[in-house]
Amino acid sequence: MSTASLFITSAGVGLAIAAPVGPMGMLCIRRTLTGGPRAGLAIGFGIASGDAVYGLIAALGLVGISQFMLAYDRPLHLIAGLFLLYLGVRALLQKAPADDTNDAGNGKLAQVGRAGAVRAYASSFLLTLTNPQTVIMFAALFTTLAPRGAFSSSVALTTVGGVFCGSIAWWCFLVTVVSLARHAIGSKLRVAIDRMVGITLAVFGIVEVRRAL
């Protein structure tokens, strides 16, 4: 398999991995609705970056790190569950904005600032790192995609880069769709959606906590 074919195939895998709407997808949707596309993209890049870190660990054969993370699988799931539960409860308790505009009623929806985007990126990046089983997924991926007898660091990095780009493509698509819907629907419906996402995040959090116990 050529480098280009390997990259395209890996990108397809990354897209397929990211596309199912789970807790991270819900988090991305919520932040896009409440903070705009910058916040949503920050969440997406944080998720893709976390996956890339685990991909590199698997690619470079850092067995010690991967074994350490897998050994603390339950505590990490507990941390992830509590954080998702916190985000869900926070969304449910958050008061609806007094109006649907920014300053002076200029008709613009609220947009998160640079500092908010950095926080969104950091939170999603760290939350993604609480799932060390991603290392196993990437190890299996490398075994499947790498040419027989030709596994090397360049092949591994090409695979990781492809998965990262495929994942980013999905998050960009999701944020674009949600952003368009955000401008098309009213504030009451956005609040209702935000509440539904909050409930879903809380449920995912409870599932993760039970998984860790």
Question: Cβ atoms within 10 A of the Cβ of 140, count?
Answer: 11
Cα→Cα distances 124→74, 94, 191, 206, 210, Å: 19, 20, 22, 18, 21
How do residues 135-180 score in pLDDT, each as one tens digit?
Answer: 777 777 766 766 555 556 777 788 888 889 999 999 999 999 988 8
* Cα(171)–Cα(211) distance, integer angstroms: 27
Go through 69-78 and write b for each residue having 16 or more CB atoms within 10 A of its CB, e for each that does not.
Answer: beeeeeebbb
Of 16-20, 31-35, 61-65, 203-207, the one with minimum mean pLDDT is 61-65
Return the amino acid letter for 150: A
* Cα(23)–Cα(91) distance, integer angstroms: 14
How do residues 21-35 score in pLDDT, each as one tens digit?
Answer: 788 888 898 888 888
Q: Residue 160 is encoded by which pair of tokens?
A: 């990781």
* Confidence (pLDDT) at 106: 46
